[in-house]
Chain A
Amino acid sequence: MAETTVPIQPESSPAAAQKKASSGALNRILKYTLVRTIVLFITVVVGIYLTILIANMGGHVDNIRKAQIREGLAVAVGLSDEFRQLTPEMRRQTIEALALEEERRIGLDQPFILRSFGFLKNALTMNLGFAESMSSDSGSRTVRLIILERLPSTLVLFATANIFLFFLSIFAALILSRNYGSVIDRFVVAMAPTSAAPGWFYGIFLILIFAALLGWLPFGGMVSAPPPESKLLYAASLLRHMILPTAAIVVSTVFLTIYTWRTFFLIYSSEDYVEMAKAKGLTSRMIERRYILRPTLPTIITTFALTLINLWTGAIILETVFNWPGLGRLLFRAIGLFDTPVIVGSTVIYAYLLAITVFLLDFIYALVDPRVKVGGGGPKT
């Protein structure tokens, strides 16, 4: 981020060159995206493999699988006619013998290193079997379904909060960089240290003020109970419930983000080409858009990726505090019930979510930064 190349000025380039450049740009973005996809996929694989190692050192993954085999066999034996005559003791022995055979068949008797790759494949495809004690709202015990059912609520909350955060911060940072040294500017700088606290922490205060003391907004949950019948009312109720958690996420990072981005804007607006543009007599709006915002965006997106990674971590507890029926709350309940498959599954889905978040930002980065080329390193150089 230290290098400062003069950006290509679009108005000066001829039409033909532009066409060639745009097809080149497409190529460049595609190649860059492909490389980043591979890198991020490797990251996910490493993360999930680590998860498996951690979970398995206590023998938990093995236990899941063994329990699954026995559960399946017990059902099969219970249903079939040929075993009906057996005494319970003999039936148990039969199940045990069949289970051992089945374990040998799927390789549970093999060394862990070999098996861990099998687990890796299952985890990557979210094929995690059945939950021990939890079930989805629709009644399914499949870990994949339990998790997928919770995914939308997490995504709705998180996406809304972060899009809001991003645009709010950009505009506020631009305004502050214009009014550098003003009262508001100094206020934001002074408030920046408050971002040391995570979102759930501010959530507690927001609940205290707006739900407990003032009674304006609900304490938690996603829609009021019972859920409203009409779609419009449902959306209204959802919005009302979303205000506080969104605000908590935004408040917990907005000051630091604005402060950092305003500093970037200030650094970039002291570049020579900005002075040059001013000398040419361009309007300040134009200078801001073309000469300040444009070269700063890649840096901003890089820092935003780091912010988002932190926010994902905080989201788990934020959902717990707000009783938001998302992945974080699911993970919290799974901890309470000691439901290993769901805990492992949640970790896997968080690994995916983090990678996808970073991937999306990388993609945007490639779009806005004309300097990006394959091998030139990702945004974090």
Chain B
Amino acid sequence: MNWLRGTLQELRKYPTAMLGLVVILALVLISAYALITIPYSEAIRLWRGGEEVVRDYPKNARPVWTNYFTRTKLARSYILDSREEDGEAIMRVTEPESSFAQKEETIIFSIDFEYDTFPQELILYLNGRYSEKQPHVSVTWETPDGREIRIGELSAGRNETYRFNADQRLERRLRGVKPEIGLFAVPESDPPVPLEGTYRLKVNSLLFDADDGLDARFVVYGQVYGLAGTDHRRRDLMVPLLWGTPVALAFGLLAAVGSTLTTMIIAAVGVWYGGAVDGAIQRITEVNLILPVLPILIMVGTFYSRSIWVILGVVILLGIFGAGIKTFRAIFLQVKESPYIEAAQSYGAGSWRIIMVYLVPRIVPLLIPQLVVLIPGFVFLEASLTVLGLGDPVLPTWGKIINDANNQGALFNGYYYWVLQPAALLMLTGLGFSMVGFALDRIFNPRLRGV
């Protein structure tokens, strides 16, 4: 552990390296947070989930924080449910006496709308509780300037969904303006401008039995959602952004450790046995250097499996005869001449024992700089494969987000957040590790120290 402390001491002289360490630490903390708050199965459910997971999220919504940077404030989302009554936004008024039915009930949703754009869509979910006859529901919309707009009348089954956008009659009543615009616009404004203030949606129900009731859920799909926004399939991008961190770090670290350790052992074997073995290893290294790695990985991905573990295995296999062999070989050649190796030989240690116990551990201190240098490359390799559409089909990762965004023309359509968030995280990971790696390289490579 002494050399570790020494290395840290040396690293302090490089401010960029310290910055890199802070970034790496932050990424590790994010990973831990992701793994603790969203367990694996939950992450998969949220990422691959169907209608019930994403039904309340707007489509392609920007992150909420973008509103701080733009002059036009984008509409946020509102999810109001009569089952969670809170005095201000959701009110329930019951009139026991009614001339038409057993009782009459009104649910009033109010939203404070202070934005410069219109929402994406409006949906009212109704759950009627009834014994014989479905409750009769009439919906009205009250604007801040006191206008009342009749939305429609319907009988509420046990699971009723009313989509404002799909209602042709409502659109006609609003003189051909789309409901999500017409309901919020300043009257007669052209182009339509949203009217700020408190809107009310009144859901009036006639219930025909004493035990009957109605629950309603009013969802206003805004243009912004959450801290990370959503994608074209309404999924919250926070899940892949958070979960992408441990996946990227684990892939980078495992690939780096796997290929570096095997490379070290191969180099030690070559040096120890020398002659034809050494020659063969060197030739293989030269061939391996020019192999088209990415096309080979692409073939494995298309023909066999896209599982991240298979890809990881192939990456390690292709990395065994990596460029690192030359460096390690040079060091082993020196170590091989040391007296303690001779001593080991004289007490009768076998070749494998010498390689594994005396040669390889000698250069383990070199492992860490080598790892740190290699990690960003592997992180980006995983992202690259995913961007090509060969990512693990199950896991939510950063590359997956970029892939989706690219397929949906995110940059062309102006959804910058979609690309920028995963790209920023990738960049941070790459920079963090390579800043530390650069400093370590200078510390361990004295030839570079002066310059």
Please list the residues of chain A having a beta carbon within 8 angstroms of any beta carbon in chain B: 39-40, 42-43, 46-47, 50-51, 54-55, 57-58, 60, 180, 190, 192-198, 200-201, 204-205, 207-208, 211-212, 219, 263, 266-267, 306, 309, 312-314, 316-317, 320-321, 331-332, 335-336, 338, 340, 343-344, 346-347, 350-351, 354-355, 358, 378, 380
Count B-side interface residues using an 8 Å CB cutoff.
51
Main DSSP-derived SS at the B contact region: helix
**A residues near B420, Cβ cutoff 8 Å:** 208
Residues of B within 8 A of A212 (CB): 411-412, 414, 416
Binds A, one of B69-77, B259-267, B282-290: B282-290
Q: Is there contact, CB below 8 Å, between B290 and A355?
A: yes
Complex: A274 Cα to B192 Cα, angstroms? 75
* In contact, B419 and A193 (Cβ under 8 angstroms): no
Which residues from A are CB-within-8-Å of B79?
none
Known contacts A54-B296, A267-B451; can you find 18 more A-B pairs with CB under 8 A? A51-B299, A54-B299, A54-B300, A55-B303, A57-B304, A194-B430, A200-B387, A204-B411, A211-B411, A306-B289, A309-B290, A313-B294, A316-B294, A320-B387, A343-B298, A343-B302, A344-B299, A378-B286
> Do B302 and A351 touch across chains, with their CB atoms under 8 A apart?
no
Picked from A219, A321, A351, the residue with its CB within 8 Å of the CB of B412 is: A219
Q: Which of B287, B293, B376, B406 contacts A46, CB < 8 Å?
A: B287
- B286 — which chain A residues lie within 8 A by C-beta? 39, 43, 378, 380
Contacts of B300 in A (CB 8 A): 54
Given contacts A201-B427, A212-B411, contact A193 B437 (CB under 8 A): yes
Q: Does B127 contact A (CB under 8 A)?
A: no
Which residues from A are CB-within-8-Å of B426? 197, 201
- Find out whether the CB atom of A47 lies under 8 angstroms from the CB atom of B387: no
With most chain B CB atoms within 10 A of its CB, the pick from A54, A211, A314 is A54
CA distance A60 to B389 in the complex (A): 20
A59: min CB distance to chain B, Å: 9
Task: Please tell me if the beta carbons of B296 and A321 are within 8 angstroms of each other in the complex.
Answer: no
Could you give 30 example pairs across A and B, Cβ below 8 Å? A47-B291, A50-B296, A51-B296, A54-B296, A57-B304, A192-B438, A193-B431, A193-B435, A196-B376, A197-B376, A198-B384, A204-B402, A204-B423, A205-B423, A208-B416, A212-B412, A212-B414, A219-B412, A263-B448, A309-B289, A313-B292, A313-B294, A316-B388, A320-B388, A335-B390, A344-B299, A347-B292, A350-B294, A354-B291, A380-B289
Q: Does B380 contact A (CB under 8 A)?
A: yes
A316–B295 contact, CB under 8 A? yes
User: Which residues of chain B in 408-431 are interfacial with respect to chain A, using CB atoms and an 8 Å cutoff?
Assistant: 411-412, 414, 416, 419-420, 423, 426-427, 430-431
A50 to B293, CA, bound (A): 11
Q: Given that A196-B380, A207-B411, A317-B384 are contacting pairs, would A266 and B299 also be in contact in the complex, using a CB cutoff of 8 Å? A: no
Residue of B nearest to A327 (CB): B295
Q: Point out the residues of chain B lying under 8 angstroms from A60, CB to CB.
A: 303
The residues of A that contact B389 with a CB separation of less than 8 Å are 332, 335-336
CA distance A190 to B439 in the complex (A): 11
Least CB distance from A380 to B in Å reads 6
Residues of chain B lying within 8 A (CB to CB) of residue A358: 290
- Which A residues are CB-close (under 8 A) to B414? 212
- Which residue of the partner chain, among B291, B411, B412, B419, contacts A50 with CB atoms under 8 Å? B291
- Whether, in the assembled complex, B66 has its beta carbon less than 8 Å from a beta carbon of chain A, the answer is no
Cβ–Cβ contact B299 & A380, under 8 A: no
Residues of chain B contacted by A194 (CB below 8 angstroms): 430-431, 434
Interface residue B16 (Cβ < 8 Å from any Cβ of A): yes
A47 touches B292 (CB 8 A): yes
Task: Return A161 CB to nearest CB of chain B, in Å.
Answer: 17
Contacts of A332 in B (CB 8 A): 388-389
B89 at the interface (CB under 8 A from A): no
Chain B residues near A196 (CB, 8 Å)? 376-377, 380, 430-431, 433-434
Determine the distance from Cα of A263 to Cα of B419 in the docked complex, in whole angstroms. Answer: 35
- The reply to whether B299 and A55 form a contact with Cβ atoms under 8 Å apart is yes
Tell which of B299, B300, B380, B414 has the most Cβ of chain A within 10 Å.
B299
In the assembled complex, the Cα of A205 lies from the Cα of B389 at a distance in Å of 20
Q: Which residue of A lies closest to B390 (CB)?
A: A335
Q: List B215-265 residues whose CB lies under 8 Å from chain A.
A: none
CB pair A380–B292 under 8 Å, yes or no, is: no
B447 at the binding interface (Cβ < 8 Å): yes
Q: Cβ of A43 and Cβ of B295 under 8 Å apart? A: no
Cross-chain contact of A208 among B294, B411, B448, B451 (Cβ < 8 A): B411
B326 interface contact, C-beta 8 A: yes
| CA of A287 to CA of B390, assembled, Å | 52
Residues of B contacting A207 in the complex (Cβ-Cβ under 8 angstroms):
411
A366 to chain B, nearest CB (A): 16
Q: Is B364 an interface residue (CB 8 A)?
A: no
In angstroms, Cα B427 to Cα A201, docked, is 9
Please pick, from B287, B304, B326, the residue contacting A47 in the complex, using a CB distance under 8 A. B287
User: Considering the chains assembled together, what is the distance between the CA atoms of A62 and B362 in angstroms?
Assistant: 48
* Cross-chain contact B434 with A193 (CB below 8 angstroms): yes
Are B387 and A193 within 8 A (Cβ)?
no
Q: Encode contact with A along B24-39: 1 for CB under 8 Å, 0 otherwise.
A: 0000000000000000
Q: Is B323 an interface residue (CB 8 A)?
A: yes
A201 to B294, CA, bound (A): 16
The answer to whether A43 and B287 have CB atoms under 8 Å apart is yes
User: What separation, in Å, do the CA atoms of A381 and B296 have in the docked complex?
Assistant: 26
Q: Which residues of A contact B411 (CB under 8 A)?
A: 204, 207-208, 211-212, 219
The 9 closest A-B pairs by CB, nearest first: A196-B376, A193-B434, A347-B295, A196-B430, A350-B292, A196-B434, A313-B294, A58-B303, A266-B451
Chain B contacts with A in 291-350, Cβ cutoff 8 A? 291-296, 298-304, 323, 326
Assembly CA distance A366 to B253 (angstroms) = 38
A200 and B427 CA atoms in complex are apart in Å by 12
- Report if A200-B298 is in contact (Cβ < 8 Å); known contacts: A205-B423, A212-B412: no
In the complex, chain A residues whose CB is within 8 Å of the CB of B299: 51, 54-55, 343-344, 347
Q: Compute how far the CA of A51 lies from the CA of B295 in the bound complex, rounded to whole angstroms.
A: 9
Tell me which of B290, B301, B435, B437 contacts A354 (CB under 8 A).
Answer: B290
Q: State in angstroms the CA–CA spacing of A378 and B447 once bound together.
A: 23
Q: Which residues of A contact B16 (CB under 8 A)?
A: 190, 193
B340 to chain A, nearest CB (A): 26
Complex: how many Å from CA A54 to CA B447? 42
CB of B380 within 8 A of CB of A198, answer yes
What is the bound-complex CA distance between A180 and B450, given in angstroms? 11
List of B residues within 8 angstroms of A346 by Cβ: 295
Q: Which residues of A contact B388 (CB under 8 A)?
A: 316-317, 320, 332, 335
Complex Cα distance A204/B416, Å? 10
Distance of B311 from chain A, by nearest CB (Å): 13
The answer to whether B377 touches A267 (Cβ under 8 A) is no
A193-B437, A306-B323, A336-B389 are contacts. A321–B289 as well, Cβ < 8 Å?
no
Instruction: Give Cα A350 to B298, complex, Å.
Output: 12
Please tell me if the beta carbons of A200 and B384 are within 8 angstroms of each other in the complex.
yes
